[in-house]
A and B are shown apart, each in its own frame.
Chain A
């Protein structure tokens, strides 16, 4: 039996039926990691810890105890989540030796479920990027063709899930960092409603937009992970006390009568024709399954990138001010005169090129004399985006569109062209600006064999509907069972 490409649900059943042990799962993952090492997935591996965690689960199974759905299932966690005692770098030189003394709420919940940690996986530095090339260890490569990037910022997460190195991952999505790489590397992902999953212990990028969510091989697995990580957390004041639904309850209800809106602005100029064809044929499938398709218009879409790349750098430049090299971080190299010189050198040497760029944009657009024209105007434009979504969701239940207008970038293709990288987020970042949930679901491959993702966007707290909608298509098509060859 090929253990590497099982879903979480299949692996769980196999553990219960004693077809294999949790240790077998870890060893299969380790063998696959060795075989596909060139994908550059891991920043830190936790091989001994993983085996120790798996053996505990095997002992429970042998003793006839019940186990939870995630118990004994290997995961890779984006290296932005604080994991007590396990190095957490945010893919930045400035934190290359940082070992957090406490656990993020999301991974604490996984620990309490008995998960198995294979290691901390790659991302763009502080989650800023669309290709994972801004990581201090370089990009994670695409499992479908290593000349291309896996995408970013959660590049290690999707490369590992798609390549069979682990069964799922948690990442962060501020403007598409979960959905874009999932689309480019061919796995399922969910960007949650703002505040649905606690961000405590996860390094902040842009606090009014950051969300945490899962990447996995099936929609049902996404529901299983959500059940564990969602909910209010007293340690994160932005998690409202909204009841956590049963995410698997509506899984098989189908899409008969579902009102799907297709925003015409999401199929604009510059879109890869093959992406267009694949996404439109996926929407046709929904029509065949009984959904009602309507074209809708979201004219604010074209302002999304401008709004986003004013708001995010502003919040980021504030958040990363804490990277001062004193309480954590690195001591600068060379001679240091005094405290202020220490800040300059620690940050100048510790941050990479994209982080410096964003800190400077944010510092500028929020500075006296410019804040009204840029930052405050972007906050007002944000209101218009929110209103536009509110209005469209009076007419349709969900929106469907591509995740990204193009397939994965080649390694190095846009490294010195920040605007081209930012434009790749044009279809994912509106959901972050409005704080609404959005799923990325595989919907086929281009003639070059590169994966394409369908994006399903819903109103606040509509995760169960997105899961129900995604599941119907996934079951009708065979994309879930396609895996890269090595």
Chain B
């Protein structure tokens, strides 16, 4: 797997990361070596193996839909934002 600078640019676009040209060059080489290393997984015959995404046998963990004690107030959460607040809402840049 050989990644080009253009492919890195596309990945960065998908991941919403602004990168400098220098970073783009550096990551093209490093991502290529990481992905090349990961290709060893292709050696494994997994045709009859199921995927594992959890390891302790839990499934469909549910709970009743009841309000618990509040951990903090809504305004305290809003305070975490670096942006200006307006009527208990965060004012963001225009979308379109």
Chain A 183-194 interface 0/1 with B at a Cβ cutoff of 8 Å (1 = within): 000000000011
Let me know if A309 and B31 touch, CB within 8 A.
no
- Once bound together, how far apart are the Cα atoms of A84 and B50, in whole Å? 42
Q: Of residues 192 to 235 in A, which have CB atoms within 8 Å of B's CB atoms?
A: 193-195, 208, 234
CB of B48, distance to nearest CB on chain A (Å): 10
Let me know if B72 and A336 touch, CB within 8 A.
no
Let me know if B31 and A364 touch, CB within 8 A.
yes
Let me know if B31 and A361 touch, CB within 8 A.
yes
Which of B12, B31, B95 is close to A338, meaning CB atoms less than 8 Å apart?
B95
Let me know if A365 and B76 touch, CB within 8 A.
no
Chain A 315-353 interface 0/1 with B at a Cβ cutoff of 8 Å (1 = within): 001000100111111110000111111111101110101
> Given A99-B80, A380-B50, is A339 in contact with B93 using a C-beta cutoff of 8 Å?
yes
| B88 CB contacts on chain A under 8 angstroms | none
- For residue A378, CB closer than 8 A to chain B, the reply is yes
Q: Of residues 74 to 89 in B, which have CB atoms within 8 Å of A's CB atoms?
A: 76-77, 79-83
Chain B 23-43 interface 0/1 with A at a Cβ cutoff of 8 Å (1 = within): 100010011011101111110
Q: Of residues 286 to 320 in A, which have CB atoms within 8 Å of B's CB atoms?
A: 302-303, 305-307, 309-310, 317
| B46 CB contacts on chain A under 8 angstroms | 377, 380-381, 383-384
| A240 CB contacts on chain B under 8 angstroms | 56-58
Best-surrounded residue of B12, B16, B39, B93 (most CB of chain A within 10 A) = B16
| B93 CB contacts on chain A under 8 angstroms | 336-339, 341-342
CB of A97, distance to nearest CB on chain B (Å): 7
- Once bound together, how far apart are the Cα atoms of A98 and B39, in whole Å? 39
| A384 CB contacts on chain B under 8 angstroms | 44, 46, 49
Instruction: Classify the interface of chain B: helix, strand, loop or mixed.
Output: loop
Instruction: Classify the interface of chain A: helix, strand, loop or mixed.
Output: helix
| B42 CB contacts on chain A under 8 angstroms | 373, 377
Number of interface residues of A (CB under 8 A): 75
| A337 CB contacts on chain B under 8 angstroms | 93
- For residue B61, CB closer than 8 A to chain A, the reply is yes
Best-surrounded residue of B33, B44, B79, B81 (most CB of chain A within 10 A) = B44
- Once bound together, how far apart are the Cα atoms of A77 and B34, in whole Å? 32
Across the two chains, which residue of chain A brings its CB closest to B71? A102
Let me know if B54 and A208 touch, CB within 8 A.
yes
Which of B19, B41, B79 is close to A381, meaning CB atoms less than 8 Å apart?
B41
Let me know if A303 and B40 touch, CB within 8 A.
yes
Let me know if A309 and B41 touch, CB within 8 A.
no
- Once bound together, how far apart are the Cα atoms of A345 and B93, in whole Å? 13
- For residue B67, CB closer than 8 A to chain A, the reply is no
Let me know if B14 and A363 touch, CB within 8 A.
yes
- Once bound together, how far apart are the Cα atoms of A353 and B20, in whole Å? 12
Across the two chains, which residue of chain B brings its CB closest to A351? B17
- For residue A445, CB closer than 8 A to chain B, the reply is no
Let me know if B56 and A193 touch, CB within 8 A.
yes
> Given A310-B41, A365-B35, is A194 in contact with B14 using a C-beta cutoff of 8 Å?
no
- Once bound together, how far apart are the Cα atoms of A471 and B51, in whole Å? 37
Let me know if A435 and B80 touch, CB within 8 A.
no
Across the two chains, which residue of chain A brings its CB closest to B23? A356
Across the two chains, which residue of chain B brings its CB closest to A363? B15
Across the two chains, which residue of chain A brings its CB closest to B70? A102
Which of A194, A327, A383 is close to B81, meaning CB atoms less than 8 Å apart?
A327
- Once bound together, how far apart are the Cα atoms of A478 and B89, in whole Å? 59
Across the two chains, which residue of chain B brings its CB closest to A364? B11
Let me know if B95 and A339 touch, CB within 8 A.
yes
- Once bound together, how far apart are the Cα atoms of A429 and B74, in whole Å? 38
Let me know if B72 and A344 touch, CB within 8 A.
no
Let me know if B92 and A340 touch, CB within 8 A.
no
| B76 CB contacts on chain A under 8 angstroms | 101-102
- For residue A357, CB closer than 8 A to chain B, the reply is yes
| A342 CB contacts on chain B under 8 angstroms | 92-93
CB of B63, distance to nearest CB on chain A (Å): 7
| B90 CB contacts on chain A under 8 angstroms | 326-327
Which of B12, B30, B80 is close to A418, meaning CB atoms less than 8 Å apart?
B30
Let me know if A97 and B27 touch, CB within 8 A.
no
Let me know if B52 and A98 touch, CB within 8 A.
no
Chain A 416-444 interface 0/1 with B at a Cβ cutoff of 8 Å (1 = within): 00110010000000000011000000000
- For residue A379, CB closer than 8 A to chain B, the reply is yes
- Once bound together, how far apart are the Cα atoms of A303 and B39, in whole Å? 10
Kindly list 19 other residue pairs between chains A and B, CB separation below 8 angstroms, not including A307-B41, A347-B17, A351-B17.
A84-B72, A208-B54, A240-B56, A309-B37, A310-B38, A317-B15, A326-B90, A337-B93, A342-B93, A344-B17, A347-B18, A349-B18, A353-B23, A356-B19, A357-B34, A359-B17, A379-B53, A380-B49, A435-B55
12 A-B pairs with CB atoms under 8 Å apart are A101-B73, A237-B61, A309-B37, A326-B81, A338-B94, A357-B27, A360-B15, A379-B52, A381-B49, A383-B50, A384-B46, A434-B55
5 nearest interchain CB pairs? A348-B18, A435-B55, A101-B76, A379-B51, A380-B46
